[in-house]
A and B are shown apart, each in its own frame.
Chain A
Amino acid sequence: MLSLVWKDIVAARWLLLLVIPLGIVQVAVMSFLPVIYIVAVLSFAALLALGSIAVEEAQRTELLWNSLPVSRGQLVAARYLTALIGMVTGLALGWVLAQAMARLASSGADGPSALIGLDAHALLFGLLACGVAVFLPLYFRFGAGRALLFCSAIAVATLLLVSLLAELILSAKGYPSPISDPEAWRAAAPALMRRLTEWLAPRFGRLLALFLGAAVIVMGVSLLISRRLYEARDL
């Protein structure tokens, strides 16, 4: 299986040689803008995790690897391991860079933000793991192109669902809706954020650990599903 991970790295090495320096610059510069930094580091880590898939698709080498003495289960497991290594590398690099840039910043007003701390990166890892857990089974079943399309559809559907749920919860708690009553929402939002922060702060560590545990379980389930789907697929 390690040979399969190695071949992903070797096959994608030109892509990595391009992505890593650019990603480092991108992440380093954007660590001054914590909210945008999150997007930058997520996309950097996702590229490292799944970039080799783009190379495989472009070169159409899937048939080659399936003709070698490796089982489909091993191919699936190796893909997950590659993704895991990419995610951890990307996020770890991002964290190191963000801390370094924050300490180098001349003004204290833009010092290290909680959004670029270790906890935040752990949370990002969990989110990325969930995204990978959704993408990879679709990739093994339908190929990369259609998997991306389905993932986009799932993302939009999730956005719609989450906003609907948020509306319902806020309405149940007696808060104004940010969509139907934005003025009242703007007035009430600071108080709500304060209450949320006060509730979350003492529990954050435990919740984060729970979330990460759930993300790992989701990845495991995703691996099993991917394996079943890939073994049933004609090439």
Chain B
Amino acid sequence: MTANGLRQDWLQLRRDLILHRRALLPAALIFAAFQVYFVIAIQHPTLWLVFTCVYLSFFTVIPPNRDDRFGATAWSCTLPLSRADVVRGRYVTGWALAAALFVTALALATFVPGSKIPPAVFMDPDRLLLAAAVATFIIALLLPFALRFGFIGVMLVAVALQIAAALLFVVAKITGGQNSVEGGIAAAFRALAAGVAALRATLSVPVFQLTLLLTLVLVNWLSYRFSVALFRRRDL
């Protein structure tokens, strides 16, 4: 990452925030209003964290979708930027938005009267890594298809995720011999949690956290490379 590359990313981030502020600000306000309700209603910090990260991950596709609608994607590619630079700019903007919204959610959880999310939650590196993992998983899946196919791509990913999750649960029901699918869901999550806990115990906590962090960075990088490959094939 050169100094020029960083400068280009900053300029693209700035451009996206200026161009799309009329859509992002109202959406962020609605997100904040929902968070006010959510932190009062929900007692389970992990559930709050996962749901919030899923919600804010979908904000990352707002700038590319709006650019497609207004024909600005083609214009971006006429600037002295390569397609890889444009894609990288999208990821930077996406993560900047996600981070800003996450900080907003944390602030609301801390300061809203009646909030059931204890501030200690935010000091826990495991929970922060979980948030990063959820956001990474969704953004890594969403952005390549959003950049290549636009709104249809976002829809495809959302539907594919639902179908995959439902199929997994059905498989868990059949193979696990569960009497109810709800039992199968719980069993699947328990198995996942047990696997992660075993890995954590094997590697020791700091090594596990570092490994997880590096894995997330790798997933992001792979998603970025995939996006570049798809975007290069797109006629504008």
Which residues of A are in contact with B by a Cβ distance under 8 Å? 15, 18-19, 22-23, 25-26, 29-30, 32-33, 36, 40, 47, 54, 57-58, 107, 109-110, 145, 149, 152-153, 156-157, 159-160, 163, 178-180, 182
Contact = CB atoms under 8 A, between A and B. Distances in A.
Contacts of A153: 26, 29-30, 33
A160 B166 contact: no
B69 A157 contact: no
Given A26-B162, A145-B69, A163-B37, A152 B151 contact: no
Given A156-B30, A156-B33, A33 B166 contact: yes
A59 B30 CA distance: 28
19 contacts: A15-B152, A23-B159, A26-B159, A26-B166, A29-B166, A32-B166, A32-B169, A32-B170, A32-B181, A33-B181, A40-B162, A58-B150, A109-B179, A153-B26, A156-B33, A156-B37, A163-B41, A178-B41, A179-B40
B170 to A, nearest CB: 6
Interface SS, A side: helix
B180 interface: yes
Given A29-B166, A33-B182, A47-B155, 11 more contacts: A19-B155, A22-B163, A29-B163, A33-B169, A58-B68, A145-B69, A152-B27, A152-B30, A153-B29, A179-B41, A180-B114
Which of A25, A58, A156 is packed against the most chain B CB atoms within 10 Å? A156
Nearest to A164: B37
Contact of A25 (B40, B41, B163, B185): B163
A19 B151 CA distance: 13
B167 interface: yes
B169 A149 contact: no
A189 to B, nearest CB: 14
Interface of B: 23, 26-27, 29-30, 33-34, 36-37, 40-41, 43, 66, 68-69, 114, 150-152, 155-156, 159-160, 162-163, 166-167, 169-170, 173, 179-182, 185
B95 to A, nearest CB: 22
A47 B163 CA distance: 16
B5 to A, nearest CB: 32
A32 B159 contact: no
B152 A18 contact: yes
Nearest to B36: A160
A159 B41 CA distance: 11
A30 B166 contact: yes
A149 B26 contact: yes
A227 B37 CA distance: 35
A229 B1 CA distance: 52
Contacts of B33: 153, 156-157, 160
Contact of A149 (B23, B40, B173, B182): B23
